[in-house]
A = this chain, B = another copy of it.
């Protein structure tokens, strides 16, 4: 019985650690939806001893708290975004970068499904795939 949702337990109280602040700052400073590896590199420049596990853990905690937004991309590392309104994404199949789609969110999209066979829908995501401007040359 596979559990696919992230199993980060958020305790009743959270603490403000230097590492967590640096992770949040890194996500906010980076655009193009950084991966955990991107975040790790930036944070390590300021805090060389930080562990990869700490970066992963804090990205998970910050995502649960709603301070960053996790984009779960098929076939690639998760990506993180600092703005939190639901939106859709473009993924370049050449370089792997992820961009925000400039189109309105459709909260009622699931209404178009005629029969869910009892499936309870909580959210949806749309990913457009193609080739970004830089990779077309």
Whether A13 sits at the interface, judged by CB under 8 Å, is: no
Answer whether A104 and B96 are a contact pair too, CB < 8 Å, given A118-B133, A128-B123.
Answer: no
User: Which of A14-22, A45-53, A61-69, A109-117 is the interface stretch?
Assistant: A109-117
Measured between alpha carbons, how far is A117 from B128 in the docked complex, in Å?
14
By a beta-carbon cutoff of 8 Å, the part of chain A in contact with chain B is 1-6, 72-76, 78, 90-96, 99, 101-104, 109-110, 112-133, 136
Q: Are A131 and B120 in contact (CB under 8 A)?
A: yes
- The chain B residue sitting closest to A5, CB to CB, is B93
Name the distance in Å between A58's Cβ and chain B's nearest Cβ: 18
Given contacts A102-B113, A118-B136, 20 further A-B contacts (CB under 8 A): A1-B94, A3-B96, A4-B96, A5-B93, A72-B75, A73-B74, A74-B78, A75-B78, A99-B119, A102-B116, A103-B113, A109-B126, A118-B132, A119-B128, A119-B130, A120-B136, A122-B131, A123-B129, A124-B128, A124-B129
